[in-house]
Structure 1
């Protein structure tokens, strides 16, 4: 069976059962958003253009969760694809004032000319305002010419400011052979971000230390969440 068709079938099956489970335990929610730019680890995924995204999530209420998320993308001449479709699952909770989250995410590009999908395992720990997260590449595209090696370490902080607003701070480091293949530069780089959010509206700035993409870039986004 075609891998991309299998992915769609898996998503449909999982959320059919998730909706049934939500009737007795847990909950299903949806989200939609529009943004002036779609950034991933400091690098635009929409060729500095606007992006519209949306997703579905099932939360068991006992730690386990599963979800899917999609957005338009534009990688220019680097890859012929128009959208990204993610599927993820994990387990989260709290222990002695520490929050934790362990999971897996698969990044799929169903209409790409070649196989550019990849997946990552992730783990995070949070305490008060701060969260540290580690993501490690587990699978890369079939036509990758380098070793499947990429590690992303990030530190995030969120503080309540003004009236019902949140200030977010972010710093991350990508490293590994796959980073060099994707960026065409060194095998590591740093990205930075700051954002201010209120009532679903977010204003933000992002920057990397990549030679080809080191300008400070601004974006604005608006998101809505729904309980189904």
Structure 2
């Protein structure tokens, strides 16, 4: 879901950046992230109408594997929605030195999507599970509830596999393949997305595409930093 021309006046983005720039007492397990991308892609589909996006998030991770967080970005779907606010929590850990797992729930909210049309609400939620074997990660997301404007999300299943390799000192190559399938009650075509990216020192160059009709290969440039709070 999501993207538009970069809008620094988005309320939640401004709030997040204000928080991140304010002096704060160090809290064990608390961290933040700030990022910029030339095009916010989600499962291969632009969320900003092929425009730029700025994002920020706050995360808490406990020693026992529990974590929770929030993340915000500007979006553009040619309607009232100007930002996305995600809330999530989960539990992860290691089975051994080569195998780890991750289980959780994420809620995607678009608080201003129905400003002029009360029927245009499309918040939705997913449960997810992932398992990593060395440098390979397999993951599944499943839609469990949604507003009326997000019928497509109900019982939708997204399966993905990602492989990560260090090809040079500090330079990481990521290969991605995803498959999005929708419930038969929703008249929408299933699709596959795939991509390749190179990352170093917070910068990422990526190519992404889908098998949707009239969808072109997209090239994106992104930069992100993580901060301990």
How far apart, CA to CA, are the structure 1 residues paired with 2:185 and 2:48? 18
- In structure 1, the partner of 2:56 is 54
Distance 1:179 1:117, change over 3 A: farther
How far apart, CA to CA, are the structure 2 residues paired with 1:65 and 1:75? 30
Where in structure 1 do 4 or more consecutive aligned residues deviate above 6 Å?
none
- In structure 1, the partner of 2:141 is 135
Gaps (5+ residues) in structure 1? 1-7, 9-18
Superposed CA offset, 1:53-104 (max 9, x none): 000000112100000000000012xx42000000000000000331000000
How far apart, CA to CA, are the structure 1 residues paired with 2:66 and 2:185? 31
Q: CA deviation at 1:149?
A: 2.2
Distance 1:145 1:68, change over 3 A: closer
Asked if structure 2 preserves the Cα contact closer than 8 Å seen for 1:150 and 1:179, the reply is no
- In structure 2, the partner of 1:4 is none
- In structure 1, the partner of 2:80 is 80
Q: Normalization by structure 1: what TM-score?
A: 0.83
Structure with the higher fraction of residues in helix conformation: 1
Gaps (5+ residues) in structure 2? 1-11, 13-23, 115-119
Alignment partner of 1:94 is 2:94: yes
Distance 1:222 1:178, change over 3 A: farther
Q: CA deviation at 1:145?
A: 5.4
Q: CA deviation at 1:161?
A: 1.3
- In structure 2, the partner of 1:125 is 131
- In structure 2, the partner of 1:168 is 174
- In structure 1, the partner of 2:193 is 191
Asked if structure 1 preserves the Cα contact closer than 8 Å seen for 2:124 and 2:150, the reply is no
Asked if structure 2 preserves the Cα contact closer than 8 Å seen for 1:150 and 1:178, the reply is no
Which of 153, 172, 181 does residue 159 from structure 2 map onto?
153
- In structure 1, the partner of 2:6 is none
How far apart, CA to CA, are the structure 2 residues paired with 1:146 and 1:88? 20
Counterpart secondary structure, 1:32? strand
How far apart, CA to CA, are the structure 2 residues paired with 1:226 and 1:138? 32
Asked if structure 1 preserves the Cα contact closer than 8 Å seen for 2:121 and 2:150, the reply is no
- In structure 2, the partner of 1:31 is 33
Give the paired residue count: 203
CA RMSD of aligned residues (A): 2.4
Q: CA deviation at 1:143?
A: 3.8
How far apart, CA to CA, are the structure 2 residues paired with 1:49 and 1:172? 23
